[in-house]
Amino acid sequence: MFEETVLADVAFGPRNLGLSDEEARERARRALELVGLPPDRFGSRSPFELSGGEMRRAAIAGVLAMEPRMLILDEPAAGLDPRGRRDILEHIRRLHRDGALTIVLITHSMDAVAQLCERLLVLDRGRLVADGPTRAVFADLSRLTALGLGLPQVTLLARRLGERGLPVRPDVLTIDEARVAILEALAVRDRGVL
């Protein structure tokens, strides 16, 4: 953070691209809205008054204000409390869904990968060892185990329920998918099909 206010800080990059102060401020306002930091509430605040999650979102807004085609995020939720983590992941999901923006996410969090990624590349000592749709890569449990990677927590829950006799699909990746799969498995069990 380089400036005295959040708005000025987010406008820093566009100004350095040669945009007028007004255009840089307008881009900064739009970018702050995109990351859930309304400029009328956050724009005049000092960047140092922001929480950790808000600081990360302001930093992302600073990049978005330059209108990139690609956004590379390295461990964007690391060190945040559960609410901050949920908020930043939701904003990343929305940015990808709503914009023509490619997002590259670098993380060790399999939960974040499951929530956000359509395609998963796994590197081991700088070597690409897996590449494919996220669900397909997570389906290869033996490979993940050999690489020291775990499964998303919700996937582990589904597998454990299956091991205990409730036929939940083991490939769920999100809480919403797990909810549907568990309700379906309970309906099957309640009909006496098990």
Whether this model's pTM surpasses 0.95: no
Token match 């900064």: residue?
Answer: 28
Kindly list the distances between the CA atom of residue 14 and the CA atoms of 5, 38, 50, 101, 168, in Å, as whole numbers in the listed order: 15, 19, 22, 18, 50
Query: pLDDT 10s per residue in the chain (194 long)?
Result: 678 999 999 999 999 999 999 999 999 999 999 899 999 999 999 999 999 889 999 999 999 999 999 999 999 888 888 888 888 888 888 888 887 788 999 998 999 999 889 999 999 999 999 999 999 999 988 888 898 888 999 999 999 999 999 999 989 999 999 999 999 999 988 887 55
Q: How far apart are alpha carbons 132 and 67 in whole angstroms?
A: 28
- Residue-wise pLDDT for 103-159, tens only, equals 999 998 999 999 889 999 999 999 999 999 999 999 988 888 898 888 999 999 999
Residue type, 75: E
Six token digits for residue 114: 């499951």
What is the C-alpha separation between 13 and 60, in angstroms, rounded?
A: 11
Could you say which DSSP state residue 45 is in? S
